[in-house]
Amino acid sequence: MKPKNTKQEDIKREKKLKKRENYKWVLELTCLAFAISFSFSFFSEVALKKANLLISCVIVFLFVAIGVLFDMVGMAVATASEAPFHSMSSRGIKSAKVAVLLKRNANKVSSFCQDVIGDICGIISGSAGVVIASSISEMWGISLLICSLFTTATVAALTIGGKALEKNIAMQKSNEILNRFSKILGVFYFGK
56 closest CA partner among 163, 153, 134: 134
Identify whether 142 is part of a domain: yes
So what's the pLDDT on residue 117? 94
Query: Number of structural domains, the chain?
Result: 1
171 pLDDT higher than 90: yes
Identify whether 191 is part of a domain: no
Q: How far apart are CA 177 and CA 188, in angstroms?
A: 18
pLDDT band with cut points at 50, 70 and 90 for residue 87: confident
Of the two residues 49 and 189, the one the predictor is more confident about is 49
Identify whether 67 is part of a domain: yes
Q: 123-144 pLDDT, tens per residue? A: 999 989 988 999 999 999 999 9
Identify whether 88 is part of a domain: yes
So what's the pLDDT on residue 192? 59
Q: 173-182 pLDDT, tens per residue? A: 999 999 999 9
Strand segments, DSSP code E, in the chain are: none
Q: Is 80 helix (H, G, I), strand (E, B) or coil?
A: coil
Q: Is 3 helix (H, G, I), strand (E, B) or coil?
A: coil
61 pLDDT higher than 90: yes
So what's the pLDDT on residue 133? 93
Identify whether 127 is part of a domain: yes
So what's the pLDDT on residue 191? 65
12 pLDDT higher than 90: no
Identify whether 138 is part of a domain: yes
Identify whether 105 is part of a domain: yes
Identify whether 43 is part of a domain: yes
173 closest CA partner among 70, 81, 87, 64: 81
Percent of the chain with pLDDT over 70: 96
116 pLDDT higher than 80: yes
- Give the range of the structural domain holding residue 103, as residue numbers without chain letter: 4-186
3 pLDDT higher than 90: no
Q: What is the DSSP letter of 82?
A: S
pLDDT band with cut points at 50, 70 and 90 for residue 15: confident
Sign (positive/negative) of CA torsion 70, 189, 99, 22? negative
- Mean pLDDT throughout 80-103? 90
